[in-house]
Amino acid sequence: MAQIFNVTCPGCRGTFPVHPELWQAGYDLLCPFCGRMFPQEESPRIVTGTGEQRPGSAWRGGDAGSTPARPPDPQPDAHAEGM
């Protein structure tokens, strides 16, 4: 049975599964949460099916097992508050 990779999107920081055959073929990845397409190397965190954690090239150091911080939630527009 194939060992699925879990990849973190560099845009929204959502984590999603990737089949190893797609990974080995070198395809760009498509985030199912924000729709961003990105090369595999841009993923800040990659977890293999065996649990091995591999920082991608966008990784900036620190604990490889730590979860990257999510970007802050967008603030509502000022004009929407008066509605």
Residue 79 within a domain: no
SS3 content of the chain, % helix, strand, coil (to 5): 15, 20, 65
Per-residue exposure over 11-35, b if at least 16 CB sit within 10 Å of its own CB, e if not: eebebeebeeeebeeeeebebeeee
For residue 29, report the phi and psi dihedrals to the nearest 5 degrees: -100, 150
For residue 53, report the phi and psi dihedrals to the nearest 5 degrees: -100, 125
Residue 69 within a domain: no
pLDDT of residue 4 exceeding 90, the answer is no
Cβ neighbours of 70 (radius 10 Å): 9
Residue 3 within a domain: yes
What does the pLDDT read at residue 53?
80
Residue 73 within a domain: no
What does the pLDDT read at residue 28?
94
Residue 37 within a domain: yes
Number of structural domains in the chain: 1
pLDDT digit string (tens) for 5-64?
Answer: 899 999 999 999 999 888 889 899 999 999 999 999 999 998 887 778 876 644 444 343
pTM check: above 0.95: no
Residue 64 within a domain: no
Residue 29 within a domain: yes
Residue 17 within a domain: yes
Q: What range does the domain containing 38 cover? A: 1-58
